[in-house]
Amino acid sequence: MALPFILWGAAALLAGTGVVKGIGAKNDFDEAKSIGESARSRYENTESSLQSSRDKTNSEFEALGKVKVSIFKNQINHLITVIKKSKQASSKLKDFDVSISPDELKEMERLVLTSLEIEKGLGTGAVTGALAAWGAYGSVGLLASASTGTAIAGLSGVAATNATLAWLGGGALSAGGFGMAGGALALGGIVLGPALAVGGFMLASKAEEALTQAHKYRAEVDIAIAEIDKMEIVLLALQANAREVSNVLSQMAKRFDAIKVHDDSNSQAFNQMIIVAKGLKSVLDTAIMEQDGGASKNIKAKISGYLEI
């Protein structure tokens, strides 16, 4: 039996509404997917840029570490040799205006020996972690210990890198520090990205729900990207600090070589060498990175004065 005209019209209207709703739902799903994919692409590009900056920062740290190794092996080692054979050498180097205490001398000797050990491993890449620590935190970084009590400089490969990251993060978790994750975060190596994958949008039971999740995901991505941008700024500052310290150290090493003596027969020349060496050691000890992972401020102002010695 044919439907009355009025009922037929109502059925057609309902069918049409269903089609419109179906099209609307599809559009919402498509929009959700588009929003999610766009956000993910922006996040991945930003994270890739951060990783490049992190790699560059680590390279700058290692390059600075190598400069320090060379200076301890050559200039500081020469100073120790001359002081130890000096007839006037004593706990305070009497008769000279500048003194180096026995403790300072012992520390220098330890650092020279450690630098020689590090140099042996440079070709193997086994000392990357130690170089990064020394570059970031000055001479104290080289003498830092892992959570096991083992000197970082004595470790190799992944163990050295992990120990260095833990130390940069404020110590091992067991010791109340931030652990390796903290160190990696300090160097911009770990970023907690948005939790919801784009594919999750399509699992939503309703198009409106998928669209809501997509907008939430985009907001999370925006926050993550803002944090990454902050890290990039810190990393650039750390790179600049490393280059500045490396430049000053190289200039001071050349100056030391130009005025160094091999004995204390000329007290004025001997005294001058010690003055330059103590300035050199001060720059070697200068940290370019704070305990919280930030770049040390006013590095140039702190160390440029040593070039006037």
Report which residue type is found at 157. Answer: G
As beta bridge partners, residue 145 has 151
What span, in angstroms and rounded, lies between the C-alpha atoms of 148 and 150? 5
Report which residue type is found at 66. Answer: K
Residue 213 structure tokens: 């999740």
φ, ψ for residue 169, nearest 5 deg? -85, 0
For the stretch 103-106, contacts whose Cβ atoms lie closer than 8 Å and that sit 24 or more positions apart, written own/partner, are: 104/281, 105/80
Distances (CA, A) of 152 to 117, 242, 290: 12, 20, 19
CB 114 within 8 A of CB 143: yes
Predicted confidence at residue 1, as pLDDT, reads 45
What span, in angstroms and rounded, lies between the C-alpha atoms of 239 and 136? 10
Q: Which helix (H) or strand (E) holds 291?
A: none
CA distance from start to end of the chain: 110
Please name the residue ranges forming H helices in the chain. 5-71, 77-85, 102-121, 128-137, 139-142, 157-168, 179-186, 207-259, 267-285, 299-304
CB 271 within 8 A of CB 90: no
- Kindly list the domain boundaries of the chain, sorted by start residue: 13-190+203-308
Predicted confidence at residue 76, as pLDDT, reads 93
Residue 63 CB-half CA count within 13 A: 17
Provide Rg for the chain, Cα atoms.
Answer: 31
- 61 by Cβ neighbours in 10 Å (0-12 / 13-18 / 19+) ranks as buried
- Coil, strand or helix: which one is 263? coil
- Coil, strand or helix: which one is 289? strand
Q: One digit per residue, pLDDT tens: the chain, 309 residues?
A: 444 434 333 333 333 444 444 565 678 788 888 888 898 889 889 888 887 887 888 788 888 988 998 999 999 999 999 988 876 544 344 444 566 777 888 888 888 887 787 777 776 666 666 677 777 776 666 556 656 666 666 665 556 666 666 666 555 545 555 555 555 555 555 455 555 455 566 555 677 888 888 888 898 888 888 888 887 888 888 889 999 999 999 999 999 999 999 998 888 899 889 989 989 998 998 888 776 667 788 888 888 777 776
Please name the residue ranges forming H helices in 143-206. 157-168, 179-186
